[in-house]
Structure 1
Amino acid sequence: MKNSNSFSSILFCLFSSFLFPFISSTTPSWPPMNSRHAVSTAATPPPPLQLHIIDQHVVMDNGIIKVNLSNPKGMVNGIEYGGIENLLSTDNDEDDRGYWDIVWNLEGSSGTKGILDRLETTDFKVIVENEEQIELSFSRTYNNSSTGGKLIPLNIDKRFVMLRNSSGFYTYAIYEHLKEWPAFNLDNTRIAFKPRKDKFHYMAVADKRQRLMPLPDDRKPPRGQALAYPEAVLLVDPIEPQFKGEVDDKYQYGCESKDSRVHGWISTDPPIGLWQISPTEEFRSGGPLKQFLTSHVGPTTLTVFHSTHYAGEDMVIKFGDNEPWKKVFGPIFIHLNSLPEGEDPLRLWQNAKEQMMAEVQSWPYGFIASEDFPKSDQRGTVSGRFLIRERYVSDESVPASGAYVGLALPGGLGSWQNESKGYQFWTRADQNGSFSLNNVRSGNYSLYGWVPNFIGNYQYSAFIVVTPGSDINVGELVFEPPRDGPTLWEIGIPDRTAAEFYIPDPNPKYINKLYVNHSDRFRQYGLWERYAELYPNEDLVYTVGLSDYKKDWFFAQVTRKIGDNKYAGTTWKIKFQLDSPDTHGTYRLRLALATAHAAELQVRLNDAQALPPLFTTGLIGKDNTVARHGIHGLYRLYTVDIPGGELVVGNNTILLTQASSNSPFVGIMYDYIRLEGPLTSKM
């Protein structure tokens, strides 16, 4: 927000006037902060926890919050807080308010769609019950003979934890696949909460990504008009006129895993916040850059642990026969906060961020009862120093300041970005290149890394075996990024995104007001259509030395519409000059892609009709980043050898053809392009 005070005042007036009148009789005080939990300022100590088991419901109560769970299904039917009997949607069925779910499929299935399982459980057990803590287990044991193959072949154990004097509760789950059970695919798993639509209208996922939101009714015909895919809806007659003409799409509010620590909703009738807090990313798949859904119109708030979004089928977890597996997802913290009447509602967001930091500092939690969740003294540490040696930058190794360094299951170079079965631990190196990965679970890992502003991936040559209490120092690690000759020219910044390239203004008919004049302008709907408007007759031409990639390189190489539901591939040209090409040397073109979707990138030199092309990627990618308003998906790096004898004195042209043409969402986003000359060449 450019002017938070002004914006807060406007927001408060909006809340107070017609959307959310304050009800002072039900307004609780905002719990003060101390470490992880709210601490009472009253003279008397906080009340002990209470557990009530009533027919088909279980209620956890610590005097601040009551959580009602179905017994034995393990669904969150209600959250009572701040004088409101239920913060969750009472319009929904009890099983559709707060729940874990999985999307899965049979072995051998293709694609990323499957069978939805709300993970209804069959057994309830009290794990811990005392004045300080309650931990409940709702479980389901897989039995192939009794389910007839209709349930996912996993043991499911959903846990819910409440602590004394805590303004919220924790939840986590343990999934287990035994060796003798059937093979299957796992596409998606998450936990979802659906707050009341008559209360929660303001959503926050980041400091600069928060706003009043439309109602779910606005998305339904005739108030809403579906656009190119069901998630995107044009609000043509919303209940609140301020949203008229806007596009609503849940993908506009996704976040990278490393930035998705806290998000949720605010009500001011009374002023209450409901937040999901993830204290770590260790249980998520795909590494720190993997993008996940967060909160969106519903109102809905999600913690997604695994999904194929922005990655495609490469991200599906495929279990084979005789493959045992167990993983703990979470815990996450469901945080409730409140304010006295008249206070700025945005203070609830500030408090949620403070609570998130307290949860991060308390990780790994010491109170979790499951033996599958290791405490701090059962974990290990891996440290070292990350250096980079790039002979065209420095003759010596230099500290890799800001490098990403991480541990993930052993695999190939860069395999961490679509790894999904194990745990991952990531950090950033300091200015000296030093790094420390703390609280690492026991296990066998590979150590991976990459450095912003340099292409390529690093992988340590030896496995890292972490045991309880181990403190492993790997010493100095030297990363030599791909490089065979001097840079003749380059386009972009090697940061694994296309954010630095030209992102057009959206069609005024399809805007989200949040992203007008916003750093994340790529999240606007329909930007793929702007390419043909900007290049109606000929494709993009970029002239080295004259063009500016910030203005002249469109952020996505997409298809061109040539008729009703017909599209054509596009060919972009990079023109450059060589005064005296080395006819005996080999030049190298480095193509770093930020994402690809059902695309084929062909490279030619000086002849647009050359067959076969000098290079082709073949059909790559199912990232679907263009349609989902992203700026990157899976990172891909290609090296194209260009024989010096095929270059000419003077003007040369590299032609980049995206040949696939199935839809408007087929395409490529480039991260960075570089032409390297032979060691003795001169431009």
Structure 2
Amino acid sequence: MQCNKTVFNYYPVATGWFLSKTIDIWWTMNRILIFTLSLLLTQLAAHAQLSVTENGNTVTLQNNLAAFSFNTTNADLTSIVNHKGVSLLGKKGRGYLLGPGFSMSPTTYSLVRKTDSLIEIAFDHEADNHFHYSLHYIIRPGVSGVYCYLTQSHKAGDSAGIYGQTRWGISANESLFNYHLVRDSIQGPMPAMSSFSDANKIQDWTYRLPDGTVYTKYNYADYIEDRYVHGMAGTASNLGLFVIQASHEYLNGGPTKQYQNVHSTPYLICMFNCGHFLSDKRKSDDVITGDWQKTDGPFLLYTNEGSDINAIWTNAKQQAQQEIAQWPYQWMQTPDYPLQRGTVTGTLLLNNQPAANTHMILAAPGYDWQAQTSGYIYAVRTDAKGFFTIPHVRAGSYTLYAYGANQTASFSKANITVSANKTTAIGVLAWQPANHGKILWQLGIADRTTRGFRFSDHPREYGIFDQVPDSLHFTIGQSKEATDWYYAQTKPGNWYIHFTSNTSYTKPALLTIAIAGAAKNPTLQVLVNGQTVKTYKPGNDASVYRSAVAGGYYQLLEIPFDGSLLQKGNNIITLQLPDVKNGGGIMYDAIKLEAE
């Protein structure tokens, strides 16, 4: 009986435990089911709100967050209305594609794709410059913006065409946007257009304001390296409008290229092929004669809102990271945008040591990568061990270039073949720069910028060139680069480099002048102890007068001369600008003297 009693008492406990666990599982399953259904309904609602509407000469793409309307006769983006019904462009704003010798009018409109996950439309135009332009817009559910890409093509049978500056830009509602956002370090208020007048115009898009300060759109130009989002916001409206570029592969010029981004109007730009800060002396691949096609983008025109400027900017940067993680976009369906890409890896050694933090450029052969426009360019930096990985590369044949590591010259390796879904492991690359004798001295760090010189870290500002002396004396071993040598030589005069030598030389010597930029066609005369060894005209890249302080278009000037010009004791190298226009001059990267 005792045993039966024990058994009798146990079962009620076990039954209660079992019922309790059953109820817990039931509630858990119901919560999972409710959450799943809620998520599904949310997704269905978002997809249900994805629509395309055609009304006369207007076509509208809409999702649950915004609506974008286009003119089907000229491809203009004529309206953006956010989820609160606010018109971001106002009555006069518009977004459009523009390039040399063409606009998109007249255009042929077509509906390319319409699915539950996206809608794609296209505008096609045959231009007088012998190119065909196909401008596409894609809207997706849950994304507060519209994607845009451009495919340009040329046929071998057509006349040669010049692939010049090509940009997509949008003018927005001035009452809503009054603040530039380019980087954390490049931001600022956007003056109203009413504050500009022709009477106070200094140069193109550069004005003296009523308070005496100078506004120029070039203060908000910037390098593309490590920058994937730029735009504008409103301090009162708490709205933002941004261009997000998940990849730079289609942009010309590589990591040293500076691009126009945003300026008063308000005007936001996505440059595809940017002509700013390129030397007029460059030899480019922009003359297209054969069969050619290039796809620029997609980029995301992104709209958002926030409690203040910082919140708007933070959200835009977060969205940019989400876009980068998705590249290449798997929802793209066009032959010139391969979804399957390759990877290139390797290790760069400089004089048998790891070349840390060195720029690696994968680009076409034949032309200076700075001047390349017609193909695709990929850029990364090496890690501390000299190792690099270049992901998401289109299949093809490339040349690998390297620069930096305090070297004025660069490294290259040709015939790099990239295949889809494969890793091209190059292995160890040995960079052995040419030896021209003993380095007697070097002024500056060779990295294709003015880094380390006075004003080189100053925010972009028109007129800094006026603060540079016409003549200066710099003594090797005594003077300080950060205070005594300036970012640019901008006025007629002489800059003297004083140094001493403990010996005399009879063999050829080499003076290397790495030019970070040059503006308004100055003439540089180089003298060694009073004797001219070189006269050079570096041309114009518009760097100095358009607020650049770090550089423009890189040029390498190597000047061999008779070593007997160097004397035991005191020596002087003179950099002479006999004449230079206001806002012109030469920006120096590094200057190096070698002899044996």
Instruction: Tell me, yes or no, whether TM beats 0.5.
Output: yes
Q: 1:310 aligns with which of 263, 272, 277?
A: 277
Counterpart for residue 201 of structure 2: 226
Q: Shift of the alpha carbon at 1:606?
A: 1.3
What is the CA-CA distance between 1:316 and the residue it aligns to?
A: 8.2
Contact 1:50–1:131 (CA under 8 A) maintained in structure 2: no
Q: Equivalent residue for 2:292? A: 325
Match of 2:555 in 1: 636
Contact 2:137–2:147 (CA under 8 A) maintained in structure 1: yes
1:235 partner letter: L
Equivalent residue number for residue 29 of structure 1 = none
- Matched with 2:97 is 100
Change (3 A) 1:322 1:197: closer
SS of the residue aligned with 1:187? coil
Equivalent position to 1:545, from 453, 466, 477: 477
The 1:319/1:399 distance shift into structure 2, 3 A limit, reads: closer
SS at match of 1:546: coil
Is this contact kept in 1: 2:396–2:417, CA < 8 A?
yes
In structure 2, the partner of 1:52 is 53
Inter-CA distance 269–138: structure 2 relative to 1 (3 Å threshold): same
Contact 1:383 1:435 in 2 (8 A): yes
2: CA distance between counterparts of 1:221 and 1:361? 46
- Aligned-partner residue type, residue 548 of structure 1: K
Distance 1:121 1:464, change over 3 A: farther
* Equivalent in 578, 589, 593 of residue 511 of structure 2: 589
Q: 1:138 is matched with which residue? A: 123
Q: Is the 1:428–1:435 contact (alpha carbons within 8 Å) kept by the matching residues of 2?
A: yes
- Aligned residue in 2 for 1:671: 589
Given candidates 483, 490, 499, the residue that maps to 1:576 is 499
Q: How does 1:456-535 map to 2 (within 5 A)?
A: 456-460=409-413, 462-503=414-455, 520-521=457-458, 523-531=460-468, 534-535=469-470
* Change beyond 3 A, Cα 1:321–1:216: closer
Match of 1:371 in 2: 335
Q: Would you say 1:217 and 2:194 are equivalent positions?
A: yes
Offset at residue 121 of structure 1 (A): 4.3
- Alpha-carbon shift at residue 210 of structure 1 (Å): 1.5
Q: CA–CA distance in 1 between the matches of 2:158 and 2:575?
A: 48
Q: Any idea what SS the aligned residue of 2:466 has?
A: helix
Distance 2:250 2:280 in 1: 20
AA paired with 1:99? Y
Which residue is 1:653 aligned to?
A: 572
Amino acid at match of 2:586: I
State the alpha-carbon separation in 2 of the partners of residues 44 and 424 from structure 1: 39
SS at match of 1:621: coil
What SS is found at the alignment partner of 1:651? strand
Q: How does 1:595-610 map to 2 (within 5 A)?
A: 595-597=517-519, 598-607=521-530, 610=531
* Structure 1 residue 380: Cα displacement: 1.3
Kept in 2, the 8 Å contact 1:404–1:426? The answer is yes
| One-letter identity of the residue aligned with 1:552 | D
Alpha-carbon shift at residue 332 of structure 1 (Å):
0.3
User: Given residue 387 of structure 1, which amino acid in structure 2 is its aligned partner?
Assistant: L
- Structure number with greater Rg is 2
Aligned counterpart for 1:555 among listed residues 474, 487, 490: 487
Using the TM superposition, give the Cα deviation of residue 319 of structure 1 relative to its aligned residue in structure 2, in angstroms: 5.4
| TM-score calculated relative to the size of structure 2 | 0.89
| Runs of 5+ consecutive residues of structure 2 not aligned to the other structure | 1-38
The residue that corresponds to 2:314 in the other structure is 350
Structure 1 residue 459, shift from structure 2 partner = 0.6
Structure 1 residue 196 corresponds to structure 2 residue 176: no
Question: Do the aligned partners of 1:308 and 1:315 also contact (CA within 8 Å) in 2?
Answer: no
Give runs of aligned pairs for residues 141-220 of structure 1, distance below 5 A: 141=126, 151-220=128-197
For the residues of structure 2 that align with 1:213 and 1:140, how far apart are their CA atoms?
34
Deviates more, 1:301-310 or 1:156-165: 301-310
> Counterpart amino acid of 1:450?
Y
- 8 Å CA contact 1:52–1:58 kept in 2: the answer is yes
Amino acid at match of 1:658: L
What is the alpha-carbon distance in structure 1 between the residues aligned to residue 300 and residue 587 of structure 2? 36
Relative distance call for 1:211 and 1:667 in structure 2 (3 A) is: closer
TM-score (norm 1): 0.78
User: 1:464-497: per-residue Cα shift (whole Å, max 9, x none)?
Assistant: 1223223211111111234322322221111211
SS at match of 1:614: strand
Equivalent residue of 1:331, what SS? strand
1:435–1:309 distance in 2 versus 1, CA, 3 Å: same
Structure 1 unaligned blocks of 5 or more: 1-38, 104-114, 143-150, 237-243, 390-396, 504-518, 561-569, 679-683
Q: CA deviation at 1:500?
A: 1.7
Which residue matches 2:11? Answer: none
CA deviation after TM superposition for structure 1 residue 63, in Å: 1.8
Percent identity of the aligned residues?
Answer: 28
Quick one: structure 1 residues 407 and 553, their matched pair in 2 at CA, closer, same or farther if it must change by over 3 Å? same
**Does the CA-based 8 Å contact 1:281-1:424 persist in structure 2?**
yes
Deviation at 1:580, TM superposition (A): 2.0
2: distance between equivalents of 1:233 and 1:655?
A: 36
Is it true that 1:289 corresponds to 2:256 in the alignment?
A: yes
Shift in Å, 1:382: 1.3
CA contact (8 A) 2:131 2:161 kept: no
2:442 matches 1:445: no
SS state at 2:538 partner: strand
In the alignment, is residue 398 of structure 1 matched against residue 353 of structure 2? yes
1:524 & 1:410 partners in 2: Cα distance? 36
Cα distance, 1:290 vs structure 2: 0.4
Change (3 A) 1:202 1:41: farther
Q: Structure 2 vs 1, CA of residues 348 and 591 (structure 1 numbering), >3 Å: closer, same or farther?
A: same
Change (3 A) 1:655 1:628: same
How many aligned positions are there? 555
- Aligned residue type for 2:246: P
Residues 1:314 and 1:366: Cα distance change in structure 2 (over 3 Å) = farther
Whether 2:365 is the aligned partner of 1:410: answer yes
Q: Cα RMSD (Å) of the superposition?
A: 2.1
d(CA) in 2 for partners of 1:334, 1:441: 24
Quote the residue 1:36 is aligned against.
none
